[in-house]
Amino acid sequence: MSPFRVIALVGLVALFLGVVAAGDVVAGERHKTRGVKPMVKWLPIEVPGEEGMVLGSFEQKGIETNMGGKSLFDGWLHHVVGLWEENEKTSVGSGYGYAVLTDRDGDKICARWEGKKVRGDPRARGTGTILKGTGKWEGIQGKTTWVTTFVAPGQSYTDQEWDIELPPR
């Protein structure tokens, strides 16, 4: 094989490995994550005239794991605040709020979420939209769908599927 072909082949292999090693996040990539976030605050108020109905503000803090083994969101702090109304007799409810995911360098991704819990389904489900990012995440865009499973009072985990778009750098 000629030296030119060897150099071209080595260059092609290096380019391929460079693209693969450059990072887990590329425009349009999908990520599956799981957040384990214990309830740290729950402030319910009974709704007058509606038996069993409460309106509450809440806060959760925990850790996110990327279920695909990728670096995005993996080991990040996940802080959630929101308002949730639920009929405690029927377990039907809905809510909305905000989430901040913080990476190991302190850069953040901020999102807004909304969801509901319907009769007969023990899980809450919803969607979210990335509002902004800071530092290296500035300009990030994306959406998520999520499902929260309640395992004990004040204890839950949330599985999410993210569609992420990063701006060209």
CA distance 127 to 115: 6
What pLDDT shows up at residue 7?
Answer: 39
User: Is the pTM of the predicted complex or chain greater than 0.85?
Assistant: no
User: Which tens digit of pLDDT belongs to each residue from 95-107?
Assistant: 999 999 999 999 9
CA distance 43 to 130: 26
> Residue 122: how many CB atoms within 10 A of its CB?
9
Domain 26-165 class, CATH top level: mainly beta
Return the structure tokens found at 91. Answer: 């377990």
What share of the chain has pLDDT > 70, as a percent?
82
**Of 117, 112, 116, 146, the residue nearest 129 (C-alpha):** 112
User: Which tens digit of pLDDT belongs to each residue from 112-128?
Assistant: 999 999 999 999 999 99
Bigger pLDDT: 42 or 15? 42
- Work out the average pLDDT over 152-168: 91
Least confident among 13-27, 47-61, 106-120, 134-148? 13-27
DSSP 126-146: EEEEEEEE-GGGTT-EEEEEE
What pLDDT shows up at residue 162?
Answer: 97
Q: Would the pLDDT of 57 be above 80?
A: yes
Output the CA torsion sign for 31, 83, 37, 126.
negative
Q: Would the pLDDT of 15 be above 50?
A: no
Q: Would the pLDDT of 51 be above 70?
A: yes
